[in-house]
Structure 1
Amino acid sequence: MEIIEKLNSRLLDKTAEKCQLDLEVYKQRALVYTQMEGAISVLSDMQADKSYVYKSKAALELGLNMEESSTVIDSIWEEEIIKKIHPDDRLKKYIHELRFHELMDSLDAEVRADYSVLSKIRMKDKDNEYRLVKHRMFYMYSPNNGKLRFALCLYNIALDQTLPSVSDFMIINTTKGEVIVKDKLDYQNILSRRELEVLKYVGEGYASKQIAGLLSISINTVSRHRQNILEKLKVKNSVQAFKDSFY
């Protein structure tokens, strides 16, 4: 199963018992973050499979469409923003979000609000040059069915623009001010040369058929490489690793 399909299967809430949290309250919170922090805020509704995007003037610096300061999209994935992320960081972002979801699932409901994602990612700006952007993500769970209802993502242009060789992806306990997991995946030491090539094209959004043509290999071979990539990264970053770090 591909990483996006796996994330969708974990994140989207298809249960019959609906969450009663007030959507308008959380939309207002996302808007306030945008206005106060000069951020781009994305509130994703896992129950409706929709996202509400709010943009400050920072969006202009990143070359994002500012015809409307707020938009609604029929997906939990903010494609306009995601396509600007460096291909390596984009895939790492997906993998890290999957790890975060697995960690949250392993925790008691009353402590989940203590945790969030904090990362620095490379995004193309209005001049088509990469700039560092601080990315934060928070989960909000339903008190009715216990399922994930909202994910709030915040994007701010980072103060320190010294580009690292490997981007930071962290899970933090905001209550204690502690880093729970500091993830700097070095794919060079995990994946084979061919898997790295496949990973590059996956990160750039190519389908398996296109990758097969680019690398002159069969679609079945591409599928095998993609499965190997996920298996290797999952072995490297299992839920047990979370528990070892947390406990």
Structure 2
Amino acid sequence: MEIVETLNKTLLSRNREKSNNCTLDLERFKNMALSYSEVENSIAVLSDMHANQSYIYYSETAEVLGIHYAKNPKVIDSIWEEDILHKIHPDDKLKKYVHELRFFKMLEKIDIKDRSKFSVLSKLRKKDKDDRYILVQHRMFYFYSPDSMKLRFALCLYNIAVDQSPYPSSEFLIINSAKGEVVTEDKLTYKNVLSAREMEILKYIGEGLTSKEIAQILSISINTVSRHRQNILEKLNVKNSVKAFSDSFGK
């Protein structure tokens, strides 16, 4: 998936350095993740961007989602918690990745002392233990090294959403928690930006399909696909249709 490769380049290559160059205390952040899992019943995932390693703290939420674990925390050599991510609806997973890249790029433009005010707040469709999609609330926080000014930790929290309406819809927000405000929702969510067809084509672009392959799958002409791709690039403010994601978010 192109978007995952771009995330890896952006979150890992840009931010990796020897952990001893950063004075942030790993144990402090591990205790923070543990506390969220215990107090809020969250699945808490603490990812260390310098070490490309994650600590996953499970709770009863994991049981509802049918995620089994032998150790708590589970330590993995990756920033991708695959046993959690594979439960997400494919369309929501793509939007989640793009949303997180936009969040990172937004924070890069903000003074480092103000970055802690912002976080991601999303509602995702995830399969539960009975293989049915339910809404799960996802929150994500980034923590930057005061020494290198680079991203050091990401903390992701997953909880069963309170609102489980009959026709659940996904939602992707960036919030300023200090002010209790949504930050430019229309630019950071896709429901007000891309049409349903554009979202469909974006999904296939993210999977690396060519315009010809997309046209065959959707039974439309290549010219129609090209027109939709151009619209997507303009709406997402990117320059190149072949490297749309990497050009949009940087390498």
Query: TM-score, length-normalised on structure 1?
Result: 0.79
Give the SS at the match of 1:121. strand
Any residues of structure 2 matched to 1:134-213 within 5 Å, and which? 134-162=137-165, 166-182=169-185, 183-186=188-191, 190=194, 193=197, 199-200=202-203, 208=209, 212=213
Question: What residue in structure 1 maps to residue 128 of structure 2?
Answer: 125
Deviation at 1:113, TM superposition (A): 0.6
Q: Distance in 1 between matches of 2:190 and 2:167?
A: 13
Question: What residue in structure 2 maps to residue 44 of structure 1?
Answer: 47
Alignment of 1:53 onto 2:56: yes
Q: Distance in 2 between matches of 1:31 and 1:18?
A: 25
Question: What residue in structure 1 maps to residue 3 of structure 2?
Answer: 3
Q: What amino acid is aligned across from residue 11 of structure 2 in structure 1?
A: L
Q: What amino acid is aligned across from residue 236 of structure 2 in structure 1?
A: K
Contact 2:125 2:135 survives alignment (8 Å): yes
Match of 2:66 among 63, 66, 72: 63
Once the two structures are superposed, what CA deviation does each residue of 1:207-227 show, in whole Å capped at 9, x if it has no partner? 659x9599579xxx9xx98x8
Change (3 A) 1:39 1:198: same
Deviation at 1:19, TM superposition (A): 1.7
Contact 1:166 1:186 survives alignment (8 Å): no
Question: What residue in structure 1 maps to residue 81 of structure 2?
Answer: 78
Q: Distance in 2 between matches of 1:125 and 1:62?
A: 4
Give the SS at the match of 1:10. helix
Question: What residue in structure 2 maps to residue 112 of structure 1?
Answer: 115
Contact 1:190 1:232 survives alignment (8 Å): no
Alignment of 1:99 onto 2:85: no
RMSD over aligned Cα atoms: 3.1
Question: What residue in structure 1 maps to residue 16 of structure 2?
Answer: 14
Change (3 A) 1:184 1:216: closer
Instruction: Give the gaps of 5 or more residues in structure 2.
Output: 239-251
Contact 1:30 1:54 survives alignment (8 Å): yes
Q: Distance in 1 between matches of 2:156 and 2:196?
A: 32
Q: Distance in 1 between matches of 2:126 and 2:89?
A: 6
Percent identity, please.
48
Q: Distance in 1 between matches of 2:91 and 2:234?
A: 16
Contact 2:119 2:176 survives alignment (8 Å): yes
Q: Distance in 1 between matches of 2:91 and 2:230?
A: 17
Give the SS at the match of 2:102. helix
Change (3 A) 1:216 1:153: closer
Change (3 A) 1:127 1:22: same
Query: TM-score, length-normalised on structure 2?
Result: 0.78
Contact 1:42 1:152 survives alignment (8 Å): yes
Q: What amino acid is aligned across from residue 98 of structure 1 in structure 2?
A: L
Deviation at 1:172, TM superposition (A): 0.8
Q: What amino acid is aligned across from residue 79 of structure 2 in structure 1?
A: I
Paired positions, count: 226
Contact 2:121 2:172 survives alignment (8 Å): yes
